[in-house]
Amino acid sequence: MSTNRAPFDHLSDADLLREVPRLAACERHATASLIASLAVLDTRQLYLGEGFSSLFGYCCECLHLSEAAAYDRITAARAARRFPVILEHLTEGTVTLTAIRLLAPHLTEENHAGLLAKAQYRTKREVEELLAQLHPQPDVPASVRKLPAPAPPRDVSLSTTAARADAPPERTTLQSEARSPTTLPTETLRVPLAAGPPPRRAEVAPLAPARYKVSFTIDAETYAKLREAQDLLRHAIPDGDPAAIYDRALTALLAQLAKTKHAATERPRWSDGPVPGSRRIPAEVQRAVWARDGGQCTFVSPSGRRCAQRGFLEYHHAMPFALGGEASVENVCLRCKPHNTYQAARDFGPWDRRHVQDRGRAARSQHDGTRASTSSQTNHERRRAHPACEDEPRLRR
């Protein structure tokens, strides 16, 4: 059986948006049915008669599931034997398979209904935090441990000898030192091999309510900075606790990022406002927009769902700048990069720099007169309302 995307290429946007949720529901139903059948197969140990010593081996080698997929489904199957309501949650999509795998060791007759209810529509991180509240663990001791130096990568030389057109295939050799009459010069390929497994990613794990374990690997230069910070902060942090230094460093970093990302300051200065024809967004507009939008993308879908992204944020002109939009608080909002690009494609079509520039020139020439007069009038009114600001330094453009 083969599956291709051709049938979906011909669907309209509306039809595709209806079809994908339907297929996802079918997948959830099939997954729940598979898990229910695995629970019975496990009880009867039918995998033994098929030549497998465990249900895990049967799932991986006979059903061709990945090891992670097999583990999740076996864990869910054994939990569902005790609490069949799990299958209903999986079919409805209220609790994910990952959440079931995390919850399974902690489910009992007394708590399973409540735990499954609390885990509905929760992410993996949220389920881990839920379990940390139920089973808090003590803080881990601060420690710095030197890791063994990684071995240098090894190169393997593969010499492929190009054979003449009339030479038999068996005359092609590897690592051939002498040239035979039937071969051409050898070409050597040096293939670097990894010295070992890839480095582990940083780990953040909840231990108890409002307590987290954080572990990561640093190089010698960063370690030297940590030691220097410990020495300089002995009067405030006598034991040199890395967690306390980490907190201070993040606090200072966030204050610096607030200034560069959304112009945060304790002493805002008065400015003339947006400059006609300039794409630059004044600092006071950045501050107001960031505070109003809460540091979150403001895109809202037709169904009313607001994008939850807080990273890769950009300042977006509701009325595009190329069409005369001002850099004002009323016309600027926060958008994540994907939604900013999405809106630009809706406003201007597929990206074409020349097309956007041409439309922008035409729009600016049409709006320059109106914007200049409006800006002049607005600045005059500001000076009348705030005469003391006349002598204050202007923000540099």
CA-based end-to-end distance of the chain: 63
CA distances from 259 to 241, 274, 361 (A): 28, 19, 32
Task: Tell me how crowded residue 56 is: count the other CB atoms within 10 A of its CB.
Answer: 16
CA distances from 185 to 75, 164, 305, 309, 383 (A): 57, 11, 65, 57, 83
Give the DSSP H/E element, type plus range, for residue 158. Answer: strand 154-163
Label residue 123 left, alpha or beta by phi (over 0 means left) and psi (-120 to 50 means alpha).
beta
Tell me, what amino acid is at 377? Answer: Q
Burial class (CB in 10 A: 0-12, 13-18, 19+), 343: middle
Contacts of 106 (CB under 8 A, 6+ apart): 115, 131, 134, 135
**Token pair of 160 as six digits:** 């492929």
Alpha helix stretches (DSSP H) within the chain? 6-9, 13-44, 46-49, 55-57, 67-82, 85-92, 97-103, 112-118, 124-134, 220-232, 242-262, 283-293, 337-348, 353-385
**Residue 218's pLDDT is what?**
86
**Residue 146's pLDDT is what?**
72
Exposure letters 104-116 (e unless 16+ CB within 10 A, then b): beebeeeebeebb
Annotate 227-289 with DSSP letters as a single string.
HHHHHHTTTT-TT--HHHHHHHHHHHHHHHHHHHHH---SS------SPTT--PPPHHHHHHH
Q: What are the pLDDT tens digits along the chain (397 aa)?
A: 556 666 888 899 999 999 999 999 999 999 999 999 999 999 999 999 999 999 999 999 999 999 999 999 999 999 999 999 999 999 999 999 999 999 999 999 999 999 999 999 999 999 999 999 988 888 878 777 777 766 665 554 544 444 444 444 444 333 434 344 444 444 444 545 455 556 667 788 888 888 888 888 888 899 999 999 999 999 999 999 999 999 999 999 999 999 988 888 877 776 666 667 778 899 999 999 999 999 999 999 999 999 999 999 999 999 998 888 889 999 999 999 999 999 999 888 876 666 656 665 665 566 555 555 545 555 445 444 444 443 333 333 3
**Residue 304's pLDDT is what?**
93
Cα 73 to Cα 96: distance, rounded to the nearest angstrom: 11
Cα 392 to Cα 397: distance, rounded to the nearest angstrom: 15
| 279: nearest Cα among 317, 312, 314, 313 | 317
**Token pair of 116 as six digits:** 């499954």
CA distances from 170 to 9, 161, 174, 257, 314 (A): 47, 11, 11, 64, 61
Exposure letters 272-300 (e unless 16+ CB within 10 A, then b): ebbebeeeebbbbbbbbbbeebeeebbbe
For the chain, the domains span 10-122, 219-262, 283-391
This prediction's pTM: 0.64
Query: Contact 314/275 with Cβ under 8 angstroms?
Result: no
Label residue 396 left, alpha or beta by phi (over 0 means left) and psi (-120 to 50 means alpha).
beta
**Residue 276's pLDDT is what?**
72
Cα 89 to Cα 97: distance, rounded to the nearest angstrom: 9
3-state secondary structure of 109: coil
